[in-house]
Chains A and B, each alone.
Chain A
Amino acid sequence: MELLAPVLGQAHRLAFAMLGNGAEAEDAVQEASLKAWKAFPRLRQGSDIRPWFFTITANECRQRRRNRWWRVDKGGDLPEVQSPDLVTDAAVLDLRQSLQRLPIDMKAVLALRYYLDMTFVDMARVLECSPQAAKSRTHRALARLRTDIPEDLGQ
């Protein structure tokens, strides 16, 4: 399992960007680790562990968003809502609000591209699609944000 250690930090960032909550992101990565641990025997020798584990993490985050009931299971450690009070920049606040309204899959795409600095080729491996499709999904997510951001977003 030490194989996972180098990618756990980035997986946590991915989960945080998708879920918007540190405690929940931590939970998601833990569960993803557990799933990865159980699935390790099926990982082909020589496979790149990074996109494989990010796929599991992203799936875990989607799963949590899609089935709110998961969170009923949790004990007394309910996550607190992130406080936006520390940020006063209007553009940042606008973008934050827009991001909150994005579907979880679009959040994943933007996180991979702009939070984890992935190329479209690497994104495609996580998203299990073609690089062109990864690019299209990125542009589609940006298009959803565009009305909230006055200037054109770079392509």
Chain B
Amino acid sequence: MNEQSFRELYRQAVGEPPPSHAVGPQRLPAADANPHRVPRLAVLAAGMLAILVVAALVGPRAWGHLNAAPVTPGSVASPVPAATPATPDFKACKLPVTVLGSSGGPGQAAITTTEGGFVDSRTGMYTRDPAYAPNPGTLAEYSASLRRWLPASHTMVAPDQRSYLSKKLLPYDPYEPERMRAVMPKGSPAYIAYQEKSLNDFQGTELHLVDVATGKDRLLWTFPGFIGVQSWDGNEIVVEASPARGGEQTNWLINSATGEAQSQPLTGGRERLVLAPDEVTQKGFSYQSTGSFRYEGRTHMLFITHPGGQLWIFYQTRDGGRVTIYRGTGSVPYGFVWPFGDRTGIWFGGRSDGSLSLTHWDAGSGLTSIALSGLPQPPQGDNRHLEVAPAGPCI
């Protein structure tokens, strides 16, 4: 197939966009446009994007490296012996949070700040924890049982928070963003050449399991391509894998104890909602999956839909059932971000372009909002933005 034939095939596959209302200058903002019309998440995403930009520049494998920093046993507090604490009162506990600040206009490198601390759920007061020290480009999660921050994002942390996953790229970890940027400015010939060489040499990814208390690192699984951890429930780790040199994406179920891996059928993703019969036939029925979280021992997906003009936010249980978190005519424009489940219920974060508050949900109490105070200022610049994300179980 020559390039022109492919172009024609490609265009048929993509199709033509429907007529747009956005392409006329009349839809562009006036000079005195309400700044609140500005995209709600624009700058947070810019902040996260700044983190992601590194990955975007060098490819998805960069994330593996960013998550791959080993524990330095001497750099963390002494572990506390395991215990099963009583379930805390969600109205009187301290919730670990990550605070993400960002500023910057389009086309600019965003300025980002990341810190962590605890929010007193009685008062909403935030207190920074100097011990929060994530690796560049990733977030940290607080282990309630071990009383320390883990340098890994939520899906990479074991349900009991006593171990976490890291990825190592083969044949070598070429992407060390901070160091690379210091010696090779973005876009420089040296940077591009290095990036290209690294991509060409890439062979696969190792998945490692790190024991938090001892720092012991164990090779769990190796795949000749890119991998992404989707969930970790019990000892079942679900990994999405893409071959390094092209080919079908596959899902794998990996036993965290033994490293045994089984290929899984592509299910269409946990993001797929199990539709009721009337929804299947309902023209125009639409929904969005908006994020996953671990709650009551399983990873669930949160969904939003608008039946009959209502706002309905729920999560889907493994058997296809639905647990409603909010359903009504009210507008909840900025809630339900960064879900995190713990024994008290489900926590949601907040954003400065919406409501800087935490929201708690449990089946008995419903929704409770906690206004935040004592937060840091976002970095100076255009489009300043602050986001607060739950980062561990309330203690």
Q: Which of A27-81 contact B (CB under 8 A)?
A: 27, 29-39, 42, 52, 55-56, 59, 62-64, 66-73, 75-76, 78-81
- Contact across chains for B4 and A66 when beta carbons are under 8 A apart: no
CB of A38 to closest CB in B, whole Å: 6
- Interface size range of chain B in the complex: 35 or more
In the complex, what distance in Å separates the CA atom of A68 from the CA atom of B45? 10
The answer on a CB contact under 8 Å between B106 and A39 is yes
Quick one: which of B22, B25, B107 has the most chain A CB within 10 A?
B22
Decide if A119 is an interface residue (CB 8 Å cutoff).
no
Q: Which of B7-15, B78-86, B210-218 contacts A (4 or more CB under 8 A)?
A: B7-15
Point out the residues of chain B lying under 8 angstroms from A69, CB to CB.
41, 290-291, 336-338
A153-B1 in contact (CB<8A): yes
Cross-chain contact A76 with B106 (CB below 8 angstroms): no
Give chain A residues whose Cβ lies under 8 Å from the Cβ of B287: 78
CB within 8 A of A73: which of B242, B247, B334?
B334
Answer yes or no: B278 CB below 8 A from chain A CBs. Answer: no
Separation in Å of the A76 CB from the closest CB of chain B?
A: 4
The interface-forming segment of B66-74, B255-263, B303-311 is B303-311
Q: Is the CB of B41 within 8 A of A67?
A: yes
Beta-carbon contact of B42 and A95 below 8 Å? no
Evaluate contact between A30 and B27: CB separation under 8 angstroms: yes
Nearest neighbor of A19 in chain B, beta-carbon distance:
B17
A123 is an interface residue with CB less than 8 A from chain B: no
- With a cutoff of 8 Å between Cβ atoms, the chain B residues found around residue A121 in the complex are none
**B253 on interface, CB distance cutoff 8 Å:** no
Given contacts A22-B17, A59-B49, contact A95 B291 (CB under 8 A): no
In the complex, the answer to whether B45 meets A67 with C-beta atoms within 8 Å is yes
Contacts known (A35-B42, A37-B29); A72 close to B106, Cβ less than 8 A? no
Is B371 on the interface with A (CB-CB < 8 A)? Answer: no
Bound complex: CA A30 to CA B20 (Å): 10
B residues 21-41 with Cβ under 8 Å of A?
21-25, 27-29, 33, 37-41
Cβ of B374 under 8 Å from chain A: no
Q: How far is the CB of B84 from chain A (nearest CB, A)?
A: 32
Cβ of B328 under 8 Å from chain A: no
User: A41 CB to closest chain B CB, in angstroms?
Assistant: 9
Bound: A37/B37 CA distance, A: 13
Tell me which residues across on chain B come within 8 A of A72, comparing CB atoms: 288, 290, 304, 335-337
Nearest B residue to A149 via CB reads: B1
**Residue from the set B24, B33, B45 with the largest chain A CB neighbour count within 10 Å:** B45
Cβ A105 vs Cβ B56 within 8 A? yes
* Cα–Cα distance between A12 and B17 once the two chains are bound (Å): 8
Number of interface residues of A (CB under 8 A): 86
**CB atoms of B22 and A30 under 8 A apart:** yes
Q: Which parts of B154-190 form the interface with A (CB within 8 Å)?
A: 186-187, 189
Q: A95-B13, A96-B13, A155-B3 are in contact. Are A42 and B337 (CB under 8 A)?
A: no
Chain A residues whose CB sits within 8 angstroms of the CB of B45 once the complex forms:
63-64, 66-67, 70
Interface of chain A residues 1 through 37 with chain B (CB within 8 A): 1-2, 4-5, 8-9, 11-13, 15-17, 20, 22, 25-27, 29-37
Residues of B within 8 A of A146 (CB): 246
Q: How far is the CA of A79 from the CA of B289 in the complex (A)?
A: 12
Q: Which residue of A lies closest to B18 (CB)?
A: A22
Q: Is B333 an interface residue (CB 8 A)?
A: yes
Give bound CA distance, A130 to B6, whole Å.
24
Q: When the two chains form their complex, are residues A8 and B22 in contact, meaning their CB atoms are under 8 A apart?
A: yes
B105 interface residue, CB < 8 Å from A? yes
Query: Among the listed A17, A62, A145, which residue makes an inter-chain contact with B49, where contact means beta carbons less than 8 Å apart?
Result: A62
For A66, the chain B residues whose CB sits under 8 A away are 45, 48-49, 52
A38 with B25, Cβ < 8 A, contacts A52-B107, A71-B290, A92-B12 known: no
B11 CB to closest chain A CB (Å) equals 7
Q: Mark A100-125, 1 if CB is under 8 A from B, else 0.
A: 01010100001100110100000000
Out of B3, B11, B27, B108, which one reaches A154, CB within 8 Å? B3
Assess whether B14 is in contact with A99, with CB atoms less than 8 Å apart.
yes
Max chain A Cβ within 10 angstroms of own Cβ: one of B24, B39, B336: B39
A binding-site residues for B, Cβ under 8 Å? 1-2, 4-5, 8-9, 11-13, 15-17, 20, 22, 25-27, 29-39, 42, 52, 55-56, 59, 62-64, 66-73, 75-76, 78-82, 87, 89, 91-93, 95-96, 99, 101, 103, 105, 110-111, 114-115, 117, 128-130, 132-133, 136, 140, 142-147, 149, 151-155
Query: Could you list 20 A-B pairs, sorted by A, with CB under 8 Å?
Result: A5-B24, A8-B24, A35-B39, A56-B107, A64-B45, A66-B45, A72-B288, A72-B337, A73-B334, A76-B309, A78-B304, A80-B286, A82-B15, A93-B13, A114-B7, A115-B14, A142-B6, A143-B245, A147-B246, A149-B6
5 smallest beta-carbon distances between A and B, as pairs: A154-B3, A16-B17, A154-B2, A22-B18, A8-B23
